[in-house]
Structure 1
């Protein structure tokens, strides 16, 4: 006999939030889905709890309407606006393809925010180094840093071709520089910043926050380590539950294997053993 699934309504989530509880999986309304470039979409949904509580590099799980696709898909929060939450994703399979065909007024089940965020508490010149679909969490990081009078942010983004996220991050970052594969990569841009004496800004020492393909982040971590610059890396890993139960998303660290979903997704270069 099939088991009934309880999906909290918006009112139930609001009551749980007011009582101080983390809301479980619940249904939200889609307000917009926009194609940014070939195969890349920006989806916005209404959820006051996630909008108020998400921190840079935290992610949300979205669930398919197909009961045969049991596992959710994790997406980093890319922006918030009032009670609206946006994510940016690429279509890489049937689950993400389903999300790309949602329209305003549709609904989707979500869970979040999840994961350990970037640490941006100390005043610094935060250099946000992203590649490809690693850039969305860094857009949100820039958004949160915009209101920090003691810090500043430079976005350094690398793309395969179309610079699809520059418009969004430029609303928040103090400076945005980007490059595609025809011109070089993010290390090219970091070398230029170093040559132009732009790593330190307003008397603030640099800290690198990075998200993107694994080879890129390893190269960024080693580049930073050689210069004595601290770096935090938001790992991209296949996940199951998203909160540390299924142990699908483990990654090797100097202290053994850690779960990206709950011990991360953010790790330091020292934790990952990625120092030069």
Structure 2
């Protein structure tokens, strides 16, 4: 009996432009760094040019950045903070080797990117949005304020809490109708929410929609605050990730409906999905 003959099949690798035309997100690709700025000690705002991410990124979505190092294959996920033309800005803290390397990039350098990834905030409704951010949870809320600022049917209030330096106020004030911030020497975001509520006591207005991103304890506190007032609350969860698109199952969290992956099922979840408002 003759042995089987194996013939190689023809393969096709689409270019980024062909992938976009076919309705698919383009693959990992190289982007040019256009600006790097230190906002505060260890807090970096990095901007790169990528037309696809700039056009398609929605608030709370993130992008993967890759180090040009075979010993560090896992990407680092960063929430999109702002989009201007074809430029995409990220804000992150230098906390390890990867973020330190990204912080050392200079305009004209290149970095491999993939995205946008994840499930964004739902901003379909009109009305009043209150964006509550803590620390490095503020970037996706700046993007939310930027997108909401283009609409005539919404009002936007930013409520940010910091450890000390108010590094993101300059950016969110460009877009929000009202912006309030506080640091640990004065209180926290619940302090601000209580003050805002007291200021508007007795006024008849539609219930605000709350968007939250920040440390876990802060988000649980805000979810409880909204629950007592029967307000809708969307949470952009922060979790350590491996791949960023649902393959490695590193970023799972417990919800009322079982374990979910933050990178693909989220990062946005409703507070009731997490069971935090009960």
Q: TM-score range by the shorter chain?
A: over 0.9
1:237 to 216, 236, 239: 239
Counterpart mapping for 1:1-276 below 5 A: 12-197=15-200, 203-276=205-278
- Supply the distance in 2 between the matched residues of 1:204 and 1:53 (Cα, whole angstroms): 30
Q: Name the TM-score, length of structure 1 as normaliser.
A: 0.94
CA offset digits 1:43-99 (Å, max 9, x no partner): 000000000000110000000111101100000000000100000000000000000
CA offset digits 1:14-51 (Å, max 9, x no partner): 33223322111111000011000000000000000000
- Supply the distance in 2 between the matched residues of 1:198 and 1:172 (Cα, whole angstroms): 25
- Supply the distance in 2 between the matched residues of 1:111 and 1:186 (Cα, whole angstroms): 33
Distance 1:35 1:199, change over 3 A: farther
- Supply the distance in 1 between the matched residues of 2:65 and 2:241 (Cα, whole angstroms): 12
2:3 maps to none
- Supply the distance in 2 between the matched residues of 1:268 and 1:237 (Cα, whole angstroms): 16
Return the offset for 1:204: 3.5
- Supply the distance in 1 between the matched residues of 2:63 and 2:237 (Cα, whole angstroms): 15
1:200–1:206: 8 Å Cα contact kept in structure 2? no
Distance 1:200 1:43, change over 3 A: farther
Return the offset for 1:198: 7.0
Question: Number of residue pairs matched?
Answer: 266
Distance 1:210 1:51, change over 3 A: same
Partner SS for 2:15: helix
Larger mean Cα displacement after TM superposition, 148-157 or 15-24: 15-24
- Supply the distance in 1 between the matched residues of 2:203 and 2:273 (Cα, whole angstroms): 25
Q: Which structure's CA Rg is the greater one? A: 2
**What's the RMSD between the two structures over aligned residues?**
1.6
CA offset digits 1:121-156 (Å, max 9, x no partner): 011211000000000000000000001211111000
- Supply the distance in 2 between the matched residues of 1:132 and 1:103 (Cα, whole angstroms): 25
- Supply the distance in 2 between the matched residues of 1:255 and 1:229 (Cα, whole angstroms): 21
Q: Name the TM-score, length of structure 2 as normaliser.
A: 0.93
- Supply the distance in 1 between the matched residues of 2:270 and 2:51 (Cα, whole angstroms): 30
Partner SS for 1:267: strand
- Supply the distance in 2 between the matched residues of 1:271 and 1:200 (Cα, whole angstroms): 30
1:5 maps to none
- Supply the distance in 2 between the matched residues of 1:108 and 1:142 (Cα, whole angstroms): 27
Partner SS for 1:172: coil
- Supply the distance in 2 between the matched residues of 1:78 and 1:199 (Cα, whole angstroms): 35
Unaligned runs of 5+ in 1: 1-7
